[in-house]
Amino acid sequence: MPDRRGQTFVFRLPRGEGVRVEVADSNPAVPLAITGDPLDDGGRGLVPVDAVTDEWGVIKRWDGGGKTVWFECLTPPERGGSRFRTARPEPRP
């Protein structure tokens, strides 16, 4: 069974574009943004992440020994963010 400990990294994106957060662990299972039963022990963490971030994703380790889940919150151009990096206009399914 994989270890439940993880590492968290917070990066400030260049030129004031926003922040990126990465959480790495040794569990190879890829999480999904689904709504589960209210009594489930887990599985709902990506639902709020999906709702409040501009981008998120999962990168599997090349050796199958874990993954990194990441998200980015971008600064809008009118607040000094890049006009080239923009949030998607529609929410993800």
pLDDT digits (tens, 9 = 90+) for 8-56: 999 998 888 899 999 999 998 888 777 767 776 666 778 888 888 999 9
Give the Cβ contact number of residue 90 at 10 Å. 6
Q: Judge whether 85 and 20 are in contact, CB under 8 Å.
A: no
Q: Is residue 91 part of a domain?
A: no
The number of distinct structural domains making up the chain is 1
Instruction: Read off the pTM.
Output: 0.74
Sheet strand arrangement including 67-74:
6-12, 18-25, 67-74, 55-60
Full domain range(s) for residue 34? 6-79
Q: Is residue 35 part of a domain?
A: yes
Band the pLDDT of 84: cuts 50, 70, 90.
low
Find how far residue 33's CA is from the centre of its chain: 10
Answer with the residue of higher pLDDT: 57 or 87: 57
pLDDT at 87: 54
